[in-house]
Structures are given as C-alpha cells and as structure tokens.
Amino acid sequence: MLVPFHKYHALGNDFIVVHRRLSKLTTAQIPKMVKAICDRHSGVGADGVVIYDEARGKIIMRIFNADGGEAEISGNGLRILAHHIYSCAEIKQKRFSIESVTGKNDVVIISEKSEQVVSSVTITPPEFRVKKIPMKMKSQFFIHQRFKTASGELLGTAVNVGNPHIVFFVDNFDFDWRSFGREVESDKRFPQKTNVEFAVVKSRKRIEHRIWERGVGETSASGSGAASTVAAGIINGLLDNDVAVHEPAGKLQIRIDSLDGPIKITGPSTYIATGGYWFMRNAKNHR
C-alpha cells in the first residue's frame, strides 16, 4: 500500500508527517510502518513519525519514535505538524491548537519564509514527582541526586513534561555521554524508559544541550528535551525563566513563567520533501 507523506526537520530533528485517514493504515499496522519508513537505509529515514487526523473540528496527533514505539509528546514534532497544517492551508489562522495524548497544545505561527516556518507551541507544565515521571524511587523527588551506571556517575534531575526525562548538568561534553545516555535510557529505574539530557550552563539565559532520545538515540535537537532541561535548571536555581537552548543544529527558545504553568517552545522548522512510501504489510524485511 502507498502511504502519502511529508517530511520536515526542526534543527535537524526530522519527522515524517502522515495523515491517518488518507494513509488508510490500521492501528495494528502503524508501529510496523513507522519502524520501516524511519529506517535510514531501507526507508525514507527519520527520527520519528507524526500521524494526525481531524475529528469533531479538532486536530488530533500521535507521535511515534523511530523504533515504532509511541511517544507521549514531542515539542519539535508538534511544531512540525503545526508548520504542515498551516503551510498546506488546512488552517488559515496563525493561532490554533493541536490535541495530543497530553492534552491541548496551543500554537502560534510567528513567521513563514519559503520552506521555513518559525512557530511557538505550549506543552504541559513540568512534573517532578517521581511517581508521575515515572521512576522507581523511594523518595518523592529526584532532584540533584547521584545517578550511577556502569559508565560512571552524574548528578541528575528527573522531570516529566508530557514525557519522561532525566537531566544532567555537566562542565563539558568531553566524556562518553552517548554511552552514559544509552545506559540511563533503559535503566530499570525507569519502567517506561526515559529521554536523557546533558547541558552545560553558559549563563542564566543560555545553555548548550545534547540529547539521547528514548527509542531513537542521539538526536540533533529536541523540543521537549530543551523544555525539560530548562525546567530542571530553574528548580536547581541555575537558570532564569527565558532561556536560549543551543543544540548541535541551532537554537530553541524556552520560556517557563511558572513551574505550575505551561512551557513555551519557540524555534524554526523546515520543509524537506513530499512523496509516497510503499509499505509492504507482510514483508519480512520490515522487522
């Protein structure tokens, strides 16, 4: 079956956008198709897939990681879908909302130039209680505490911004943070696995950020990762409420007016291509 798709990236964090109804995919087929289309050797290649539909006048989205597993939210995936919907004139106004499994996410289209759109989206307030992350710990919170793996030990802060993260503030990236991130992602203390963030604080308004994403691995950018890192920085007294997050491929702006309120993520997204992917439902090579 031919699956129509559109591909975008947000600072190198690339997503494939698929309209659920037009694709004619069944619920059971989606994880298999996602894993196949995201393969960078035999598929189109992407960090994840955004699948969306309209129902009762609402835009409803689901996010899937490259391994076929469903994610709760993605700040970059959300902005990419907003870009797609606005550019394709499915919605003509510059302010609208998108429903995700975490609730309603407000969108503002700030500018559009050629294939690039700058937008801001809101995601759920940060949650630091370990039972909400979820994380298996006896304490109520995991803030600035030692986290040990076979690769070493760092001080971490666990936070949920619609999906689980653990944030490590470090002096530099001159260590094997990828191996550490891989171990932490699948650590038994995280029953749903976790995203892993590393950050160097340059000032109270600027950080450098590296990402090990759950179900994907190293990525060049992450909206929810940037949001969780700033939230962790605020609760640890390291950052102000409006922070420039410098990632390997560019900058995201994160604003958190209150730790009890929504997080705003602002940044660019870029259109890449449109096409059709031939999904062989019963092919053994789509493992």
pLDDT of the chain along its 287 residues, tens only? 999 999 999 999 999 999 998 888 999 999 999 999 999 999 999 999 999 998 888 999 999 999 999 999 999 999 999 999 999 877 889 999 999 999 999 999 999 998 999 999 999 999 999 999 999 999 999 999 999 999 899 999 999 999 999 999 999 999 999 999 999 999 999 999 999 999 999 999 999 999 999 999 999 999 999 999 999 999 999 999 999 999 998 999 999 999 999 999 999 999 999 999 999 765 554 44
At the second CATH level, the architecture of 130-261 is Roll (3.10)
Report domain extents, the chain. Answer: 2-121+270-278, 130-261
Instruction: Check if 2-121+270-278 and 130-261 are the same fold.
Output: yes
Note the pLDDT of residue 286: 45
CATH number of 2-121+270-278: 3.10.310.10
Note the pLDDT of residue 78: 97
Note the pLDDT of residue 90: 76
Note the pLDDT of residue 267: 98
46/286 Cα distance (integer angstroms): 15
DSSP the chain: -EEEEEEEEETTEEEEEEEHHHHT--TTTHHHHHHHHH-TTTS---SEEEEEEEETTEEEEEEEETTSPEES--HHHHHHHHHHHHHTTS--SSEEEEEETTEEEEEEEEEEETTEEEEEEEEPPPB-BGGGTT---SSSB-SSEEEEETTEEEEEEEEESSSEEEEEE-S-S-S-HHHHHHHHHT-TT-TT--EEEEEEEEETTEEEEEEEETTTEEES--HHHHHHHHHHHHHTT---SEEEEEETTEEEEEE-S-TTS-EEEEEEEEEEEEEEEE--TT-TT--
